[in-house]
Structure 1
Amino acid sequence: MVFNVRDSKLTIRENYPHEVEVIEHIWIPMKDGIRLSAKIWLPKDAYDQPVPAVLEYLPYRKNDFTAIRDSIRHPYFAGHGYASIRVDIRGTGDSEGILYDEYLPQEQEDAIEILNWLEQQTWCTGNVGMIGKSWGGFNGLQVAKHQPKQLKAVISLCSTDDRYADDVHYMGGNILASDMLWWSSTMFAYNARPQDPSVVGDSWFEQWLERLEKTPPYVETWLTHQHRTDYWKQGSVNESYESMTVPVFAVGGWADGYTNAIFRILEHFTGPKKGLIGPWVHEYPEVAIPGPSIGFLQKCVRWWDHWLKGVDTGMMDEPMLTAWLQESVEPAVHYEERPGKWVFEDSWNHNSTNTKHLSLTKSGHLTRENTQEAPIALTSVQQHGLYSGVWCPFGQPGDMPSDQRMENGLSTTFTTDILTKPMSLLGLPSVDVRFSCTKPDALLAARLCDVAPDGSSTLISFGMLNLNHVNDHEHPVALEPAKEYQVNLQLNAIGITIPKGHRLQLSLAPTYWPHAWPSKEEAVVTIHTGKGTQLHLPVRSEALIKPMVTGLLISLKQLLYYLKKFFEKNHAIVVLITTS
C-alpha cells in the first residue's frame, strides 16, 4: 500500500489565512484508562477565537507511515480556521491498547470519546467534522450512524456502507483471493512495529511485546465468517440507512475498488449528501491518477465552512452528484490521464438513468429483441482473470487491466452490433442469469468490455457471484444438479461513453482467478438464454445530460465565496472558466 504525495508542494498552497501551530503529541484519555495518541494542527488565534475541529482517525501510524501526507493536508485545514486532529486508533501507532480487528464497536466508542474531548477544549467550538480515505472513510460513516451531537458533517473517501458485499474480504460472496490475504498481512506487519519511545517513554518495549503477542492475524476471523453474519452487519451502515442523518460528502474514483457505495449513499442516506466521482485510483483527488486531479482541499473547506461554521458557500446549491464521464481509451496497465468531461445529477436513484436491457443469444450476440431459450455451457478455464488488474489500484504501474482479448478467449462472450451512435453509461450495471450447474458449489464472473474497431478490448466493469448465495448472502445453499436457478449479478459502477463504431461485450465464466477463490470442484455452469437472462445497462440519455464543464468546476455562488475569502486577505484572484 502506497500514498501518492508527488508534486504536493506544487499543487497545495502553503500560505494560509491563519498562522498554524503544531502540537506534535497529546494524549486523549479513554474511560477505561487507555490513552490515544494525537497530533494537532491549530490556528494560533484559536485560543482567543475558538474554531471547529476536523478529525482524521486511522490505524496507519501518524508518526511515520502517514507523516508526509498528514504534513500536507492537516496544515491546510488549520490554515483555513480549523483545529485539524490526527489520532492513532487504539492498538496502532503510538496509541495504547491492542487492535483486535477492523471497525470494532470499541473503535467507534473511542471516536465518540474523542469528540467529547474535543468539545471540552478551550480552542474548539464543539462542532466537529470527520474526514478519511479508506479506513478513515469507513469509520466516519460508522460514527455518524451513532449521531453524536458534536459530529456535524463527514467527508468519506474510497469507503463502503457494506462491509461484507463491498469490501476487501468478499465480493459477491466469493473470497476475494487477490486482496483479503495481503490486506490482513499488511495490517499485521504495521502492528508489529513498536511505538515511538520519544512519545511513550521507557514502556515502549513492554507495550511492543504485548502488541506482538496479542495482535491476531485478522484473516483467520474473516475466513470464519464466509457469509453475511452479524459480524459483518456490525459496522455496515446499510443496515440502518434511516440512522444516516449526518451530512455526508462521499468521494471516489472509477479506477478504485470502492465506488459502488457512492450511488447507494446518494439514494438511501436520509441526511444531506453530495457525491463526487473522478477517474482516480484509491487516493486523494488533489494528487490522484489518472488525472485530471482537482482542487479537492478547497472543496473540503467549502463543505466544512457550510456545516461547521454556518457559512453559505453555495455547495449545497450544487448538483447532488458530480462525475467524470470518461471517454473510451485503448487498454493499458497504467494511465496518467483519462479524457472525459464532468457531468452532473441533481438527484440519484436507480431510476436516474434509462436502463437498457439486452438479451443474450445462443450465437453470442447482445440484442434488444427477445431471444429463444437455449442452454449454453460456459467455458471454464482456471487462468481466466490473470489479466484483470488489481482489485484496489493505488496508481502503481501494472495496476490496471490489460487488453482483454486473452481473457475473452477463456470465457463465453456476447457482443452487441457495432454502435451507430455514442452510448453514455453512468451507474450500476447488472446481469440477470438463469442457470443450472453440475456441482453443489460454483461461482459466476461477469466482465463488461469496450471493444474497439481494431479488436482491442478494454475492461470497463466486472462482478462476481457465489452461486450458493442464490437466495441471499446470509443463507447459502448447496445447488441441486440440473435444477434451474435465477440470480442477479451486480457489476461495478461505471461512468463512460462508448463511441460510435465500438461494440460492448459481456463475458461470463465460472472462474476469475486471482480475484475469486476457486470452487471446490470444477463445475459446468450452464446459462439459459431467453426469459430471465439479460444485461441491464445504466444509459445516460442526452435528454438527461446537464451542463458540462471541461475546465474549472465553479458556480457563481462558489465564485463569490472565493472572491470574498481572497479579498478579505488582500489577495487578487484570476478565475478561468471554460464551458462546452
Structure 2
Amino acid sequence: MRRSLLALILALLTGLAGLTAADAAPAPAWTARAEDHPRAVVQTDVPVRMSDGTVLRADVRLPADAEGRPVPGRFPVLLTIIAYNKALMSGPGASALGGDPDYFAKRGYAHVSVDARGTGSSGGDWQAFSARENADSGEIVNWAASPERPWSNGSVGMHGASYMGINQLFAAGHRPPGLKAIFPQVPAMDTYRDVVASGGALDVGFIPLWMGLVTGAGLVPPAYGAREPDSALQTYLDRVQGATSFTAPTLLEATLGLNAAFDGPFYAERSPASVLDRIDVPTFLVGGEYDLFQRGTPMVFDALRKRGVPVKMIYGPWDHVQGAGDHLAEAGHGTLQELQLRWFDHYVRGQADPALDTDVPPLTYHEIGSGQWFSADQWIGEQRARSFQLSGTSLPGRPGELVDSAPRPGQSTVPPVPVSGLCTRSTNQWTAGLPNAVGIAQLCGDNRWNDLSGTVFETAPMAEAVRMRGPINAHLNASTPTGNGMLSVSVSSVPPDGSVDRLTGGWQVLSHRALDESRSRYLDGKLIQPFHPFTREAQSTMRPGVAEPVDVEVFPTGAVIPPGHRLRIAVQAFDVPHLLPTVRDLPAALSPVTLHTSPENPSEITLPIVPASEGI
C-alpha cells in the first residue's frame, strides 16, 4: 500500500497526469529515426562504487533482440540520476525520465538510471545536492563511460527533469571527459532565490512536500534485499538517519528563522550557479512560465549563452508537472523524446545534423495572452525598459492608476490577510502543479477575488499591444509600524470583462530589502532584476512609519497585454500556501504595510518590453 501511494504521488510530481497537448502543434521539419532493435532488457541494482567507498545502485537497459537477449556491442549511454527511487520511476513515474527509457535502448543507446546517494536502493546519507553528492554525479558519468562497462562506448549524455535536471548541471560542472551533452528539464539556478525562500520568506508549499517525498520513497525496501540482506539493512538504516540528521533539522532551522532561513554557503553549495562557469557541454533546457524554477532556468540559459556554450531553451506555458512531461510538442520542434533523440544523436552518437541549428533556434518561448510561440537569440537582448508609476490611492473596488508620468500623491494600505494567495495560479505553481494535475486548478484561474485582499493599480486600456520577456522589478516605497512584513506582488492582464489573468509574481520581505547593485540586472539604466543578499548580516528592519524604497524581484515571463486590456499590479502581504514568515518574523508580518505614491516617494514597475515585430 505504501509503495502504491508513493508511486501515485511521484507520478503527479513528475508529470504523469495531464500530458496531452492542448493545441495541435506544427509538424517539425525533422523526422525521428525508427527503432534499431525490437526490445530492451534491464539489469537491476548494478553496484556503482564511489571514491569514498559508498555503493550506489543502477538499472541498466540495453538493446535486445526479439527474444529479449542483449545485443552484443558497445553503445552510447544516456544517464539519469534519480532521487525518488528508480524502482518507482521505472513504472508509473517513467515520464520524468523523458518517457519510456526503452525508447532509447531500442534506438541503440544503453540507458542507465542511478539512485542518488542516500535515496532509493543506493547507500549513504541523502544531503540534497551536497558537495559529496555533486561529486558523485561526475563519478557516475566516469563509471558509465569507463571501458570496464562492456556495453559502453565511452560517450555519455544525461537527461531528466527537476532534481534529475539539476544534477546534470553539477555533473557537467565536474567536466567528466565522457560527458558529451545534457538535456535538463525545469532545473534550478539559485536554489535559495528560485524556490526555498523567494524574497526571503519560506516556501511551505513545495519544499516540505518534496523533502518528505524523497525521504518516503527511500523507505521502500530495496529489491536486492533477498540476495544482499546486510547491504539492504544498512541502506534502510541510512534512510532513517538521513531523515533525522538532514531533512527534519533543516526544516526546523528554517521555520525558526535560524541559519537555514538565510542565504549562504549551505545554499551556494546546492545551487548550479556555483558551477555554471565550468559547464561547456551542449545543453538543451526546458523551462516553464508557471514552473517552480520559472526564475532559474532562463538564468542558466543566459549564463551559458553568454559564455558561448551551445545551448537552447524552450520556455513554455507549463507548471512543474507539465514541464517534466511531454508538452514540448506545443513548441513545434517535435515531442520530448524526439527532440532528445535528435540532440543526443548529434552530440552523443556523433551523427551529423546540419539542420539542427536552423530548425531549432537558441530560444523558443510562449507568449501568455496570445498563445503564440516566438524565437530569439538571447533571453535579454533587444528589449527596452518601460516603467509605469503607481499613482493615487487604491481603495477596495477602486484601483489606483499606473501611469507613464506625473503620478498623483497617495497612500494605500496593504492589509495583513493571512489567506491571500490561497486560490490563485500561485497555489498551483508552488505545489508543483498538483492542483492542475488532478483537474482543480481552473477553479482559481481568475485572480480578481484574491486582489481584493490587497491594493491594486492598473493602466487605462492599452491602445496597442505591450509585449514583455524577462524579469520585472517593482520599486515600491513602503512603510510599516513594525519595521517588517512582506510584499507579494502579482502582475496581471485585465480584459474588458474584468477577469484577472495572473501572469507572474514576486515577493520581498521588507527587512531583506538591502540591494547588491553589482549582482542586479539593469536595462537602459533601469533595474529589472534586483539581487538581495538575504543574509543575516544584511537583514535590517525599517524605521517604523517611515517610507523606504523596496525593490521586489518579479519572476520572469513572456507575455502580452493586448489592445483593450489593462496592465495590473496587485500587492498583498501574504501568498499562501506558497510562503510564510519564519516564527521570528511572524508577529511583525501581522501588521499593515502602506504604499506611498508621489514624486517624492515614487513607486513604479519596470518591464522588459519586446518589439512587436519579433516572432516566428
When the two structures are superposed, what TM-score results if normalisation uses the length of structure 1? 0.84
Give the SS at the match of 2:453.
coil
Distance in 2 between residues matched to 1:14 and 1:307, nearest whole Å = 16
Of residues 52-61 and 40-49 in structure 1, the stretch that sits farther from structure 2 once superposed is: 40-49
Aligned residue among 342, 345, 367 for 1:302: 342
Q: CA offsets per residue over residues 164-212 of structure 1, 9 Å max, x none?
A: 1002x21111111222322222223222322224675333345424532
2:491/2:570 contact within 8 Å kept: yes
- Work out whether 1:62 is the aligned partner of 2:90: no
Distance in 2 between residues matched to 1:75 and 1:296, nearest whole Å = 14
Give the SS at the match of 2:101.
helix
List aligned pairs for 1:65-84, cutoff 5 A. 65-70=89-94, 72-84=99-111
> Where does residue 572 of structure 1 map in the other structure?
none
> Where does residue 612 of structure 2 map in the other structure?
542
> Where does residue 444 of structure 1 map in the other structure?
487
- Work out whether 1:322 is the aligned partner of 2:364: yes
> Where does residue 60 of structure 2 map in the other structure?
40
Distance in 1 between residues matched to 2:140 and 2:20, nearest whole Å = 31
2:60/2:113 contact within 8 Å kept: yes
Aligned-pair CA distance for 1:228: 0.8
Aligned-pair CA distance for 1:240: 5.0
Q: Number of paired residues?
A: 532
2:181/2:281 contact within 8 Å kept: yes
Q: Note the residue ranges of structure 1 that are not aligned, 5 or more in a row.
A: 329-339, 548-580
Q: Which has the higher contact order (CA 8 A, sep 6+)?
A: 2
Give the SS at the match of 2:405.
coil
Aligned-pair CA distance for 1:527: 2.3
Summarize the Cα distance change of 1:7–1:240 in structure 2 as closer, same or farther, 3 Å threshold.
Answer: closer
2:59/2:112 contact within 8 Å kept: yes
Aligned residue among 196, 205, 218 for 2:247: 218
> Where does residue 486 of structure 1 map in the other structure?
549
- Work out whether 1:176 is the aligned partner of 2:214: no
Distance in 1 between residues matched to 2:41 and 2:473, nearest whole Å = 49
> Where does residue 533 of structure 1 map in the other structure?
603
- Work out whether 1:264 is the aligned partner of 2:333: no
Q: CA offsets per residue over residues 41-73 of structure 1, 9 Å max, x none?
A: 223599765322111001111112443343843
Q: CA offsets per residue over residues 124-174 of structure 1, 9 Å max, x none?
A: 22221111211011111122222222222211111111011002x211111
Of residues 403-412 and 262-271 in structure 1, the stretch that sits farther from structure 2 once superposed is: 262-271
> Where does residue 21 of structure 1 map in the other structure?
40
Give the SS at the match of 2:438.
coil
- Work out whether 1:378 is the aligned partner of 2:414: yes
Aligned residue among 402, 409, 412 for 1:366: 402
1:59/1:89 contact within 8 Å kept: yes
> Where does residue 138 of structure 1 map in the other structure?
166
Aligned-pair CA distance for 1:111: 1.9
Distance in 1 between residues matched to 2:212 and 2:18, nearest whole Å = 30
Summarize the Cα distance change of 1:219–1:404 in structure 2 as closer, same or farther, 3 Å threshold.
Answer: farther
Q: In percent, how many aligned pairs have the same letter? A: 24
> Where does residue 139 of structure 2 map in the other structure?
113
2:20/2:326 contact within 8 Å kept: no
- Work out whether 1:345 is the aligned partner of 2:376: yes
Distance in 2 between residues matched to 1:511 and 1:32, nearest whole Å = 45
Distance in 1 between residues matched to 2:201 and 2:134, nearest whole Å = 28
Letter in 1 for 2:365: A
Distance in 2 between residues matched to 1:240 and 1:372, nearest whole Å = 47
Of residues 205-214 and 138-147 in structure 1, the stretch that sits farther from structure 2 once superposed is: 205-214
1:470/1:485 contact within 8 Å kept: no
- Work out whether 1:355 is the aligned partner of 2:403: no
Aligned-pair CA distance for 1:510: 2.1
Letter in 1 for 2:356: M
Distance in 2 between residues matched to 1:360 and 1:291, nearest whole Å = 40
Distance in 2 between residues matched to 1:417 and 1:353, nearest whole Å = 23
2:422/2:577 contact within 8 Å kept: yes
Distance in 2 between residues matched to 1:207 and 1:7, nearest whole Å = 35
Aligned-pair CA distance for 1:287: 4.7
Distance in 2 between residues matched to 1:498 and 1:393, nearest whole Å = 25
Letter in 2 for 1:384: S
Give the SS at the match of 1:310.
coil
Of residues 23-32 and 277-286 in structure 1, the stretch that sits farther from structure 2 once superposed is: 277-286
Give the SS at the match of 2:121.
coil
Aligned-pair CA distance for 1:28: 1.5
Question: After the TM superposition, which segments of 4 or more aligned residues of structure 1 sit over 6 Å from their partners?
Answer: 6-15
Distance in 2 between residues matched to 1:292 and 1:323, nearest whole Å = 10
- Work out whether 1:507 is the aligned partner of 2:564: no
Of residues 135-144 and 211-220 in structure 1, the stretch that sits farther from structure 2 once superposed is: 211-220
Aligned-pair CA distance for 1:14: 12
> Where does residue 51 of structure 1 map in the other structure?
75
Aligned-pair CA distance for 1:375: 3.6
1:57/1:87 contact within 8 Å kept: yes
Of residues 3-12 and 67-76 in structure 1, the stretch that sits farther from structure 2 once superposed is: 3-12
2:166/2:272 contact within 8 Å kept: no
Summarize the Cα distance change of 1:535–1:24 in structure 2 as closer, same or farther, 3 Å threshold.
Answer: same
Letter in 1 for 2:139: E
Distance in 2 between residues matched to 1:143 and 1:373, nearest whole Å = 53
2:185/2:324 contact within 8 Å kept: no
Summarize the Cα distance change of 1:199–1:434 in structure 2 as closer, same or farther, 3 Å threshold.
Answer: farther
Of residues 203-212 and 508-517 in structure 1, the stretch that sits farther from structure 2 once superposed is: 203-212
Q: Note the residue ranges of structure 2 that are not aligned, 5 or more in a row.
A: 1-8, 25-30, 394-399, 515-532
1:47/1:123 contact within 8 Å kept: no
Distance in 2 between residues matched to 1:445 and 1:284, nearest whole Å = 25
List aligned pairs for 1:406-485, cutoff 5 A. 406-471=449-514, 472-474=533-535, 475-485=538-548
Letter in 1 for 2:277: E
